[in-house]
Amino acid sequence: MSHYYIGLMSGTSADGVDAVCVRFAEDMPSITLAAHRYEPYPESLRQRLLALMVPGANEIDRMGALEGELAEIFAAASTAARRAAGLARTDVAAIGSHGQTVRHRPSGPHAFTLQIGDPARIAERTGILTVSDFRRRDIAAGGQGAPLVPAFHQWLFGHATKTRAIVNIGGIANITVIPGTDAKSPVRGFDTGPGNALLDAWARQHTGEAQDTNGVLAARGCMDPELLALLKDDPYFAAPPPKSTGREHFTLQWLAARLQHLGRDLEVACVQATLVCLTAETISEALTPLHPEEVFLCGGGTANPVLVAAITERLAVPVHTTAHLGLDPQLVEPAAFAWLARETLSGRPGNLPSVTGARRPVILGALYPA
């Protein structure tokens, strides 16, 4: 069978889709990047996706329209990555498509999670077997359905003796702590809370830009300790793992309620600076009790130097990006879904019960033949 896989990741930031075409070594944890394509979403599409992430009217029709629109972009990005790698369709074993999460409610009697971006259309347009819907089976097995990237982090980044942590800073941030593989203790991992989601939302509201590029706005402001305490008071942060969250929890309304509670005006830049501290402190406070000896950052948040500095100064151990381990920080998540597709086709489980809380390891995903 071909050893090439395509991984598609569209995270909670809804900024665009990353498509990677990769090859995995059969006998050791090693990945070779053949091509990468990033397809940013038009602003109107991003707006409609973000709108669908919070409860509203006529959601099924709005979702149905977005299913197709996203799938066409996913398929085009896959084909572009395949061509850039100089490959024929038959060279690619499968596409692993995470999809776009529009709702994530992993707890309670009606737990569910929903990722859209019609996989039938991806298979139809690309002519390549598509694996999608990775999270549902873990939820069916009693897990959170998230995070799913830790198994890949362990496979690729695990070290024989050192405890390593991988921190993915997407819209939501998640951590994976991998004990030295010789120690045989379980991998830990969970969503720590907002990564860039609130930074993007606040910047958008006050500057009209989709993000606070390079943290320029945050750097102009002063962190407000009282607001930070109000933000950190949310019960999610103190809750024990397994836990996962989504954009529907950490919204601008969530922030507005706490600003109102503060009862005084703060400069826009100071709110932004405080949001940077919220992301940095909730990550560092999640990591510290798990005693990582080295920390590696990935995800779009690594492009925000103010955020990276805030995280680094709160940790007493070396902090790098995953580039230090040979994988571009922007490519870790899409590569993880290419790898998860391989695990599915190989009949191997992709979830880690020590992370998601599932009753057992399960084979993830649904298959849409070529």
Ligand X SMILES: Nc1ncnc2c1ncn2[C@@H]1O[C@H](COP(=O)(O)OP(=O)(O)O)[C@@H](O)[C@H]1O
| 164 SS3 class | strand
Cite the beta strand spans of 280-333 per DSSP E. Answer: 294-298, 319-321
Residue 46 CB, nearest approach to Mg ion (Å): 10
Residue 338 CB, nearest approach to Mg ion (Å): 16
Residue 13 CB, nearest approach to Mg ion (Å): 5
Contact with Mg ion (CB under 5 A) among 4, 5, 6, 13: 13
Which residue type does 366 have?
Answer: A
Which residue shows structure tokens 């008071």? Answer: 233
**Torsions phi, psi for 190 (to 5 deg):** -170, 170
Residue 212 within binding range of Mg ion, rule CB under 5 A: no
Residue 163 or 322: which CB sits closer to ligand X?
322
Element spanning 34, H or E: strand 31-40
CA–CA gap between residue 296 and residue 283 (Å, rounded): 12
Sketch the per residue contact string, 10 through 49, with ligand X: x for CB under 6 A, - otherwise: -xxx-x----------------------------------
Residue 123 or 199: which CB sits closer to ligand X?
199
Contact with Mg ion (CB under 5 A) among 7, 11, 189, 365: 11
CA–CA gap between residue 76 and residue 73 (Å, rounded): 5
- What is the signed CA dihedral for 320, 321, 327, 330, rounded to 10 degrees? 180
Residue 133 or 200: which CB sits closer to ligand X?
200
| 178 SS3 class | strand
For residues 153-192, which are near ligand X according to CB under 6 A?
170-171
For residues 285-314, which are near ligand X according to CB under 6 A?
299-301, 303-304
Spatial contact of 95 and 337, defined as CB atoms under 8 Å apart: no
Which residues contribute to the site for ligand X (CB under 6 A)? Answer: 11-13, 15, 170-171, 196, 199-200, 211-215, 299-301, 303-304, 333
